[in-house]
């Protein structure tokens, strides 16, 4: 027997089985109505069964149960909050303060070794004192520039 004749015979038998199934009982135990309507060709049986099941379901896409969200509310909810003020108040209200000497030691230790990482030290500049006196300057002027 060829495969085509076998398929035609199965189609005829499945039509008879469907008629029995519609009378009240299932044609074969353990199979759903959608599976009973399925013509078994072994190729794509699952997909055709799913398609038959989908046909029976109604489209339930309604606006009835939809919750509308405000765009402003979504923006405010997702926007990052700035906690700087709260953190400053917490830090300023802290009772445990370190001594200045300890703070300076920590800062000195944590500074880098490069010159750009070190703070500028202010050195008191002393006024330059001349080795020569004012009379020696006048004498030099006369000798160098000539008498005037």
Res 135: pLDDT? 93
The C-alpha atoms of residue 133 and residue 127 are separated, in whole angstroms, by: 15
The C-alpha atoms of residue 109 and residue 114 are separated, in whole angstroms, by: 13
The C-alpha atoms of residue 18 and residue 35 are separated, in whole angstroms, by: 10
Residue 27 CB neighbour total at 10 angstroms: 19
Spans of the chain below 50 pLDDT: none
Res 61: pLDDT? 67
pTM: 0.20
Chain-centroid distance, C-alpha 50: 37
CB 48 within 8 A of CB 38: yes
Res 19: pLDDT? 60
Residue 17 CB neighbour total at 10 angstroms: 17
Report DSSP letters for 105-143, one per residue: HHHHHHS-SSGGGSPPPPPPPPPPPPSS-HHHHHHHHHH
């Amino acid at each position: 027997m060829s495969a085509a004749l076998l398929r035609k015979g199965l189609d005829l038998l499945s039509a008879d089985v469907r008629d029995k199934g519609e009378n009240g009982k299932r044609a074969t135990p353990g199979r759903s109505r959608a599976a009973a309507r399925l013509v078994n060709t072994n190729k794509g049986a699952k997909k055709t069964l799913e398609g038959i099941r989908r046909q029976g379901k109604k489209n339930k896409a309604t606006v009835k149960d939809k919750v509308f969200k405000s765009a402003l509310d979504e923006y405010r909810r997702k926007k990052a909050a700035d906690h700087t003020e709260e953190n400053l108040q917490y830090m300023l209200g802290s009772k445990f303060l370190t001594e200045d000497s300890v703070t300076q030691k920590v800062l000195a230790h944590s500074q880098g070794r490069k010159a750009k990482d070190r703070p500028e030290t202010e050195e008191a500049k002393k006024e330059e004192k001349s080795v020569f006196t004012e009379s020696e300057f006048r004498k030099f002027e006369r000798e160098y520039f000539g008498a005037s």
